[in-house]
Amino acid sequence: MNRWLLPEDIADVLPAEARKVESLRRAILDLYQSYGYELVAPPILEFLDSLLTGTGSDLNLQTFKLVDQLSGRTLGLRADMTPQVARIDAHLLNREGVTRLCYAGSIAHARTPVGSSAREELQLGAEIYGCATWEADFEAISLLLKTLSVAGLNKVYLDLSHAGVLEGILDGQTIAKTDIETLYSLLQSKDRPRLAIWAKCLPAKSAEALMALTELNGPCAQVLANAKKALPKHKLVDEALAQLEKLVCATATLASDVELSVDLADLRGYQYHSGVMFAAYVDKLPQPIARGGRYDHVGQAFGRPRPATGFSMDLLTLANLAPVAQRKSAIVAPWAFDADLAIKIAELRNAGEVVIQAMSGDAVETAEYFCDRELVVQGGSWEVNKK
């Protein structure tokens, strides 16, 4: 057996890429700090019942499980940090006002997610707790677009949806959990023939509205206008469409390179979300680079109802899509026990230069730096010369 082999869809991050990831992480977390977000770092392992509180079956299937030898209880290796951050807000911080939290940490999936080639991700995200108005959703979208801009991804396709639309359509209907999961799957795939069969158990107006959802996607103004005509008059539906209109108008003012659309059947993540939902797409990536939205029910599951909205993404994927940074210039210095040389190297490093000391006769091999200068003795002192 080759001991250097890794499990399927698990990979190392090599030097140049690792530096790119870390530079992005620092820049993005500094951006979040400028907005007033506080950094949290939940543990990678938790008791399973806490880790999955307020989530659906999808996350349960994606979670690695093991037995804690100290307590005998089942532990989970987190597959998503959002429930952990909600727990921190609800039980550890326990604040009454608005709280802004951000995070960056590893997550692992028991199964390779659809559209991905990796079971380990470096999840980056930001969440707003305690604000129930659409302005919090707008701040989350604004910060997401800023995040992508920091990575050099300015051409963004933002797709909006709202969980309240379907909630309004199904209001008053008693539907089993497994049937609801089937419904969401049919809506996401826009499988109209099977959806028509599934909807036969519903009143005619509800069934017609479900069928209409599969066609309510495209340019924002057109979709929202058609939705007002095609969907039943209901408080939850009306409120959802009104919130989407406000977000569309506000988001359109942020950047000219953002292309907005609405897809009222795109309800992936429904097990979390309770309001506005959004997905950001960029060129060269078939699946969303980031997803987010409102998920008020997760905090409620922890025994402390708190409005919540936010987004998350995989930093490794983001770094892979970001433009390749130029290699940093470096200075090669000889390895010698020389007090003047040591002082000169320290001065250069303090000034921000990269100085690599090489043994005599050894070539410097590096993917991150190009060595275009060297330290040599000139006139009794150490000077930097071009190679």
Give how many domains the chain has, as a whole number: 3
The predicted pLDDT at position 351 comes to 96
CB 331 within 8 Å of CB 352: no
Shared domain for 277 and 302, answered yes or no, is no
- CB under 8 Å to 232, separation ≥6 — which residues? 168, 169, 205, 206, 209
* Ligand-binding site membership of 81 (annotated): yes
Q: Is the pTM of this model over 0.85?
A: yes
Shared domain for 170 and 143, answered yes or no, is no
213, 248, 281 — which closes off a domain? 281
CATH number at residue 229: 3.30.930.10
What are the average pLDDT values for consecutive 10-residue runs of the chain, which has 387 residues? 83 90 96 97 93 75 93 94 91 90 96 86 96 95 96 94 92 85 88 93 92 95 95 94 96 88 84 85 92 84 85 95 86 92 96 91 82 92 92
Q: What is d(CA 251, CA 257) in angstroms, rounded to the nearest whole number?
A: 11
Which residue range(s) make up the domain with 249? 156-281
Q: How many residues does this entry show for the chain?
A: 387
* Ligand-binding site membership of 268 (annotated): yes
Number of Cα atoms under 13 Å in the Cβ half of residue 360? 2
CB 333 within 8 Å of CB 358: yes
Q: What is d(CA 162, CA 294) in angstroms, rounded to the nearest whole number?
A: 9
Shared domain for 74 and 131, answered yes or no, is yes
Shared domain for 122 and 144, answered yes or no, is yes
Q: What is d(CA 145, CA 142) in angstroms, rounded to the nearest whole number?
A: 5
Shared domain for 131 and 51, answered yes or no, is yes
* Ligand-binding site membership of 82 (annotated): yes
Shared domain for 63 and 79, answered yes or no, is yes
* Ligand-binding site membership of 359 (annotated): no
Shared domain for 104 and 4, answered yes or no, is yes
Report phi then psi at 63, rounded to 5.
-95, 125
* Ligand-binding site membership of 127 (annotated): yes
